[in-house]
Amino acid sequence: MKNSDWKDRLNVVYSTNPDFNYESEEQELIETKSKDKQSLRISFDKRNRGGKVVTLITGFVGMDDDLKELGKLLKTKCGVGGSAKDGEIIIQGDFRQKVLDILVKEGYAKSRII
């Protein structure tokens, strides 16, 4: 055990037991599904956003890096801002059809507008 991993320990501050194993929060790495198996849902949302409208893409299964890469691609192609976190991509503005066209062109065949 490294000396610098004290922040990762859960529920214990100090133990004198030499055989004690600290609980640590280990994140499971979720394997990113292939593009043709991703079932992405594209929707329109304006709740809790101060009256602004956004295009919301949900249903992505995979690693955060792949989600952010897809989000960056969509934001660049649409020419707007947004974010990609917690398994969803937010694109500022109503770009449902354009996002669907981009996703289908990129190989996400199971994408649909709801």
pLDDT digits (tens, 9 = 90+) for 42-71: 999 988 888 899 999 999 998 899 999 999
Please give the structure tokens belonging to residue 12: 């214990």
Strand-pair category, 112-113 with 41-45: parallel
Round to whole Å and give the CA distance between 80 and 38.
Answer: 24
CATH of the domain at 63: 3.30.780.10
Domain membership of residue 2 (yes or no) is no
Domain membership of residue 75 (yes or no) is yes
Which tops the pLDDT comparison, 99 or 23?
A: 99
Domain membership of residue 43 (yes or no) is yes
Domain that holds residue 76: 30-113
Q: What is the domain count for the chain?
A: 1
- Any bridge partners for residue 44, and if so which? 55
Q: Is pLDDT above 60 for 1?
A: no
Domain membership of residue 10 (yes or no) is no
The whole model's pTM is what? 0.72
Domain membership of residue 69 (yes or no) is yes
Domain membership of residue 5 (yes or no) is no
Q: Is pLDDT above 90 for 16?
A: no
Q: Is pLDDT above 70 for 41?
A: yes
Of the ranges 3-17, 28-42, 76-90, which one carries the lowest mean pLDDT score?
A: 3-17
Mean pLDDT of the chain: 85
> Within a 10 A sphere around the Cβ of 59, how many other Cβ atoms?
16
Sorting pLDDT into bands at 50, 70 and 90, what band is 112?
very high
The residues, ordered by sequence, that sit 6+ positions from 86 with a Cβ below 8 Å of its Cβ are none
